Chains A and B, each alone.
Chain A
Amino acid sequence: MSGSGAAWELTGFRHPLWMAAALPIILLGALLGALAWFGPLGVLNRGAPPVEQLSIERIEIRADPPRFVMTVVNAGTEPVIVAQVLVDDAYWEHSVVPERRLPYLGRATVTIPYPWVEGERHEVKLLTSTGTVMAGEIPVAVESPQFDGRWFAALTMVGMYVGVIPVAIGLLWYPFLRTLDRRWVHVALAFTAGLLVFLAADALAESVEMAVALPPAYHGIGLILAAVVITLVVLQLVAGNGQRAAGDDAAGRRALAAFVALSIGLHNLGEGMAVGAAYGIGEVALGASLVAGFAIHNVTEGLGIAGPVAHDRVGFPFLAGVGLLAGVPTIVGAWIGGLAYAPVIAILFLSVGAGAALQVVYQIAAIVRRRSIRELAQPSTIIGFAAGVAAMYATALFVGA
């Protein structure tokens, strides 16, 4: 046990350190090899039929000729064969590309010519070769948007309305913030922190909701945890090494504002994906009210970015820069969500955004504490923090769904 240096002792033999490190990996490789060669061994080999986990990722509704185009994924470890398709409890003609047999995490496109009725509900069921049923719902049948220039422009507009414009409007509070007394700066910072805490909680809740709906093979909750923790650690290392973001001088505060904008931008990327997806799957009625709600909600984000630099003299280029950093990812998110919505990617960005927001909250707390430990506990700071959370909650009510 006193082994130190380049050797590790076991039953009298001395091994080089690399061997000690590699041995478990070699043994694991041998185990996997044995499992691959001989199949499940002994008690594991019960010959029980596998539980099939076919997942319907996306249903597009098309016209001329009327049809459904579904993307399905096999989220189970055993291959699944799509044998038949039922629409509204009736067997239906269909084609499966590239083939009916889906390997683990394999994908297929199922095209079903079907005279769907606009505005009404339809249900599509996939029947596998073992008789297992996987159902997908079309709550309100509306033709899915075509991926043309007009659609692209529409998604860009959605991103503008939801992200860029509200953030810009919120930043217009900057001149007002500058007129406030210097004592109020930490209140503005606390407001930003409250806002970010709300965003982080909101993003985590949304991620968890989506993660639970994911096929288990994706390990959604683990993905969230990994994304949040890795983001926190990476940003902390970047901020710590730079020694600027954490510093309480004009440059440090500008860097902090940029970090706030970055974390909000990452969040908005995930949010833009959700909104773009709502458009993409044809929930258009939801889209309009959702856009209006997000617009109101995200004005607060602009205010939050302005908070750290409330008492610094920053120029228009800086404000425009941080505004675009926070807002433009919404457009990119809307494109991704509208064109190829994948819950896993949305979860990833929302979680990264949450991790970033929490790291920025830590930075803000560090700054306020460095100014004066008393300020951190002052009623005005606490009220500022609470106001940030409350403002986000109140405006979130406009988002509705």
Chain B
Amino acid sequence: MAGTVDVQRLGFDPMEMLSEWDYGATSRLPDGRRLREYWITAADQEIEVAPGVVFNAWTYNGRAPGPSLRCIEGEMIQVHFTNGASHAHTIHFHGFHGPDMDGIPGVGRGVIEPGDSFTYEFEARPYGCHLYHCHAIPLKRHIAKGLYGVFVIDPDPARHGGPQRELAARRNHREPACQAINEMVMVMNSFDTDFDGENEVYAANTVAFYYMQYPIPVRRDQVQRLYLVNMTEFDPVNSIHTHGFFFNYYDHGTTLEPTLRMVDTVMQCQGQRGILEFSFADAGLPPGRYMFHAHQSEFAELGWMGFFEVI
């Protein structure tokens, strides 16, 4: 790899993307429930996926991956979608919703034509680490072009009793127990720059080797939480492997107890996701550079590789 990507020209910064959440706008509904509204616009956009390599992407809100939407279980969600791109698109959310709100061609409103708008509406459940993506056909191309993002539903402590309540609070962004944790978001993605059905670039958060060139600073004494979503196209499986430390893993994030304990490698199929939790201090580890990457060596060497700078 030669050179670096200019984030000014890119329009978004993978380092900021790690901890950037879109909480939307909240208000009270007549029945007392909270309404949370998001505004998402699709566009055609050139992005630099590796130094000097420009990809003609399709984006939500000017970034690929799109904004990381965050809400709390039980809230009413409205996503006001405007298609400012040149092709018909949709937003298909992973989570509970009726068929009319599924964001697929031919059901409900179906695809949203260029210039049109539509509001997706549903209740936020189940809690977990989810995602959204365009479901217009051809599906492969619409996903590979960059139309996807993270959709996290925090558990509501009020809905969980006993010891579960405290665990739910650790995951709820409004609770101090959660705010004490360093939360990060990574979307494992890939780009087929010559459109031959094979990826030239793999990355976490779009830019090849970005966290290699700019290691992610983390505090040794802070608990780390990583929301990890696999939106790799063409390859059925992607993975993360951590060097020198192990983590607890919550598949789909739909449980408050880990589904895997003390592992250093997990794989995710396309669309699979989960939450990683780890602490360098608890493991008695010294500061320094800790590598992480896909354990598909090919993906790693094509850009999906990075460092935590533990301080």
Contacts and interface: CB of A to CB of B under 8 A. Distances in A.
A89 B193 contact: no
Given A85-B2, A133-B194, A91 B53 contact: no
B152 interface: no
B1 A91 contact: yes
Nearest to B303: A91
Nearest to A128: B53
A93 B301 CA distance: 12
A320 to B, nearest CB: 57
A90 interface: yes
Interface string B1-12: 110000000000
B2 A127 contact: no
A196 B174 CA distance: 90
B1 A131 contact: no
A84 B298 contact: no
A127 B53 contact: yes
B55 interface: yes
B209 interface: yes
A5 B104 CA distance: 79
A331 to B, nearest CB: 41
A133 to B, nearest CB: 5
Nearest to B49: A131
B49 to A, nearest CB: 8
A86 interface: yes
B209 A91 contact: yes
A83 B194 contact: no
A93 B53 CA distance: 15
Nearest to A83: B52
B157 to A, nearest CB: 45
Interface string A86-102: 10011111110000100
Given A131-B200, A132-B194, A93 B50 contact: no
A83 B196 CA distance: 18
A130 B194 CA distance: 8
Interface residues of B, number: 20
B55 A84 contact: no
A89 B190 CA distance: 14
A132 B195 CA distance: 9
B228 interface: no
A389 interface: no
Interface in B287-307: 298, 301-303
A84 B2 contact: yes
Contacts of B196: 133
Contacts of B52: 81, 83-84, 100, 129
B73 to A, nearest CB: 40
Nearest to B199: A89
Contact of B54 (A85, A86, A130, A133): A130
A91 B194 CA distance: 16
B51 interface: yes
B109 to A, nearest CB: 32
Contacts of B1: 84, 91-93
A100 B53 CA distance: 12
B246 to A, nearest CB: 27
Interface in A121-135: 127-133
B48 to A, nearest CB: 9
A23 B207 CA distance: 57
A127 B2 CA distance: 12
A84 B302 contact: no
Contact of A91 (B55, B191, B193, B302): B302
A95 B2 CA distance: 8
Given A81-B52, A94-B2, A100-B52, A86 B193 contact: no
A125 to B, nearest CB: 8
A247 B50 CA distance: 71
Contacts of B303: 91
A30 B253 CA distance: 70
- Top 5 A-B residue pairs of the complex, sorted by shortest distance between their CB atoms: A131-B193, A83-B52, A90-B301, A91-B1, A83-B53
Interface of B: 1-2, 49-55, 191, 193-194, 196, 200, 208-209, 298, 301-303
Given A89-B302, A133-B196, 15 more contacts: A83-B50, A84-B50, A86-B302, A91-B301, A91-B303, A92-B1, A93-B2, A127-B53, A128-B53, A129-B53, A129-B54, A131-B55, A131-B193, A133-B194, A133-B200
10 contacts: A83-B52, A85-B2, A86-B302, A89-B301, A91-B301, A91-B303, A127-B53, A131-B194, A133-B194, A133-B196
